[in-house]
Chains A and B, each alone.
Chain A
Amino acid sequence: MNVAIIGSGQTNHRSRRLDVNAPELIDEAVQAALADARLAPDGIDAIVVGNMEHFEGIHLSDLWAGEGTGAVGKPQIKVATGGTTGSSLAQAAYYLVASGFYRTVLAVGWERLSDSEGETTTGIVTAFDPIYERPTLAGAVSGLAILACQYQAKHGTKPEEAALVVVQARENAAKNPHAHLKQAVAAADVVKSPLLSSPIRYLDMCPTSDGACAVVFTSDPGDRRCAWVRGVSSRHNHTYLGDVAEGAADFIHTLQLASADAYRQAGIRDPRNDIDVVEMYEPCTWAALDWAEAMGLCGPGEAAGLWASGTARIDGGLPINPSGGVLCANPIGATGLIRVAEASMQVRGTAGACQVADVETAVATGFGGSFWNEVMIVGARKS
């Protein structure tokens, strides 16, 4: 069954949204999505919702915030998978519609990271083994730093080169009313910013944001402008970080595998040329380099060139994160869904000042967990 995205909505992501509680925050995104989809609330048959309850300090946060998602009286299923929450929501919504179980499903993700008062890293540390991994792990930052260390050792990439990823991201974010961080930065600022976990510096890393995002999936779009789902894939990984690191015998590059699977479904044979825009889940600059290569957008060690050459610009040969990406907004439960929303906006022509010209095919990725990756491809054509 063909499934289309017919609308999306987001809040304006900020450090702290003290002016609203969670249901109100969610409602902003949901109302915007329904308006964009030209749908009344009773047009939604089921809801999939995601949020990382530890960050909120509210167990079963989805049930508490149901008045925001419109859950009362409806089927609502919670899918919370860490960083991949948003992309997992998009996948769940897709399968629930593609199965024929529901005609129209609303995917909603949100996070109020400000509620945990700066303890996001503390929360993320608890994702890993209490005996073996928590004593050393410093959240997502150090986990990604290990990846960055290996990338740098393999390719000799300089910090100034990696920094170009966030320089471009901020330039794009300045055009995106939803983005959290919009201030321009120069590569020199990045390499002088405080060290977080070598080689990752403060400006190399994504923020923590308060925000929400909602996307409407349906098998019955009528005459609405659609972004059709052309490929859906995910690859999970082992349990221990020592098993997912390069050098472990059973190392899996989950993004490479997930991309290949999604490309095959969507009929993409030459990613660099067949894809018109990428909304990549890039929690730090260094990861963007490794992952652009994993997605087949360039050869090994060549990723820095995508940004240095201007290829990744909104008006470049392969725009990457025209929205500003995760580096400019990261409300964890929503972040992966924002990638899907932005990809669908590119296809539907509703991306405003961030709009890339002539988009037929857009790819959105999600990252999280023990280095899981998810890919969703949306296109202007049904098949």
Chain B
Amino acid sequence: MSEPIAVRATPELTFRYAAGQYGSRFLEGLREGRILASRCPRCPRTLVPPRIACTHCSGRMTEIAEVSPCGTLLAWTLVAFPFLDPFTGVQRPIPYCYGMVKFDGTDNTFQYFLSEKDPTKLRVGQRVKAAFREERRGELADLLHFAPAGD
């Protein structure tokens, strides 16, 4: 058989994702330098980021409340392989480190960048604090990273 033929076809699709009622509040909070959570009065549960459905009862979370930017690191990973970022269409800069942090007073973990890029320096239970950028625009990037906070 002659050489197999492959045809390149790139659907160029862009999306406008609605942040929704709860996400919009969270992003406004970030612009103000605050971490906001949603609360379910029944269970009770306090969850970051805020969202409409409680993870315990699937009922409506009815309040938004500010929580401390301090928390506990529960897991982390150093990302070291190249891949295309679906947002930018170019390779995401590597290596970078992110972790799962439980903000004080909340009932779940939040995933974000860590300032520490050496995984051997991290440990489960370590205290960390969210740092904000100076100039904020109401987007997740208003958060710079979690930095070690001392014990």
Chain A residues whose CB sits within 8 angstroms of the CB of B9 once the complex forms: 57
CA distance A135 to B47 in the complex (A): 20
A247 touches B102 (CB 8 A): yes
B86 touches A122 (CB 8 A): yes
B149 at the binding interface (Cβ < 8 Å)? no
Question: Which of A67-75, A88-96, A140-148 contacts the other chain?
Answer: A140-148
Q: Pick the contact of B56 from A134, A147, A246, A249 — CB < 8 Å?
A: A249
CA distance A132 to B55 in the complex (A): 17
Mark A193-206 against chain B: 1 for CB-CB distance below 8 A, else 0. 01111111010000
CA distance A18 to B140 in the complex (A): 41
CA distance A200 to B74 in the complex (A): 17
A164 at the binding interface (Cβ < 8 Å)? no
Residue of A nearest to B48 (CB): A242
Chain B residues whose CB sits within 8 angstroms of the CB of A194 once the complex forms: 80-81
A150 touches B74 (CB 8 A): yes
CA distance A202 to B55 in the complex (A): 34
| A18-B6, A122-B84, A198-B80 known; A149+B75 contact, CB < 8 A | yes
CA distance A198 to B84 in the complex (A): 19
B79 touches A142 (CB 8 A): yes
A19 at the binding interface (Cβ < 8 Å)? yes
CA distance A18 to B6 in the complex (A): 7
Within residues 76 to 120 of chain B, which ones have a CB less than 8 A from any CB in chain A?
76-81, 83-87, 92, 96, 98, 100, 102, 107-113, 119
| A18-B4, A146-B100, A198-B77 known; A242+B86 contact, CB < 8 A | no
Chain B residues whose CB sits within 8 angstroms of the CB of A150 once the complex forms: 74-75, 124
Question: Which of A123-131, A269-277, A313-321, A371-379 contacts the other chain?
Answer: A123-131
Instruction: Give the tally of cross-chain contacts (CB within 8 A).
Output: 144
Q: Pick the contact of B109 from A119, A202, A248 — CB < 8 Å?
A: A248
Residue of B nearest to A137 (CB): B111
| A142-B77, A197-B81 known; A125+B27 contact, CB < 8 A | no
Within residues 235 to 283 of chain A, which ones have a CB less than 8 A from any CB in chain B?
238-243, 245-250
A119 touches B84 (CB 8 A): yes
A238 CB to nearest chain B CB (Å): 5
B55 touches A136 (CB 8 A): no
CA distance A194 to B55 in the complex (A): 37
B119 touches A131 (CB 8 A): no
Chain A residues whose CB sits within 8 angstroms of the CB of B107 once the complex forms: 248-250
B85 touches A125 (CB 8 A): yes
CA distance A19 to B83 in the complex (A): 27
B129 at the binding interface (Cβ < 8 Å)? no
CA distance A4 to B119 in the complex (A): 49
A153 at the binding interface (Cβ < 8 Å)? yes
CA distance A238 to B96 in the complex (A): 26
B84 touches A242 (CB 8 A): no
Mark B51-77 against chain A: 1 for CB-CB distance below 8 A, else 0. 101011000000000000000001111
Chain A residues whose CB sits within 8 angstroms of the CB of B27 once the complex forms: 131
Within residues 1 to 28 of chain B, which ones have a CB less than 8 A from any CB in chain A?
1, 4, 6, 9-11, 15, 17, 19, 23, 27
**Interface size bucket, A side?**
35 or more
A153 touches B83 (CB 8 A): no
B113 CB to nearest chain A CB (Å): 6
A149 touches B85 (CB 8 A): no
A296 at the binding interface (Cβ < 8 Å)? no
B80 touches A195 (CB 8 A): yes
B133 CB to nearest chain A CB (Å): 14
A247 touches B140 (CB 8 A): no
B75 touches A197 (CB 8 A): no
B12 CB to nearest chain A CB (Å): 11
CA distance A137 to B78 in the complex (A): 11
A141 touches B81 (CB 8 A): yes
A82 CB to nearest chain B CB (Å): 15
A19, A133, A142, A242: residue with the most chain B Cβ atoms closer than 10 Å: A242
A139 at the binding interface (Cβ < 8 Å)? yes
A149 touches B76 (CB 8 A): yes
24 contacts between A and B (CB under 8 A): A57-B10, A121-B83, A122-B86, A134-B87, A136-B98, A136-B111, A138-B81, A141-B79, A146-B76, A147-B75, A149-B77, A194-B80, A195-B78, A195-B80, A197-B77, A198-B78, A239-B51, A240-B111, A242-B48, A243-B55, A243-B109, A247-B75, A249-B55, A250-B56
Binding site for B on A (CB under 8 A): 18-19, 57, 59, 119, 121-123, 125-126, 130-139, 141-142, 145-150, 153, 194-200, 202, 238-243, 245-250
9 nearest CB pairs, A to B: A145-B77, A249-B107, A247-B74, A136-B98, A250-B55, A121-B83, A248-B108, A198-B78, A242-B109
Given A134-B85, A240-B111, 11 extra CB contacts under 8 A: A130-B87, A137-B111, A150-B124, A197-B77, A198-B80, A199-B119, A202-B81, A247-B75, A248-B107, A248-B109, A249-B107
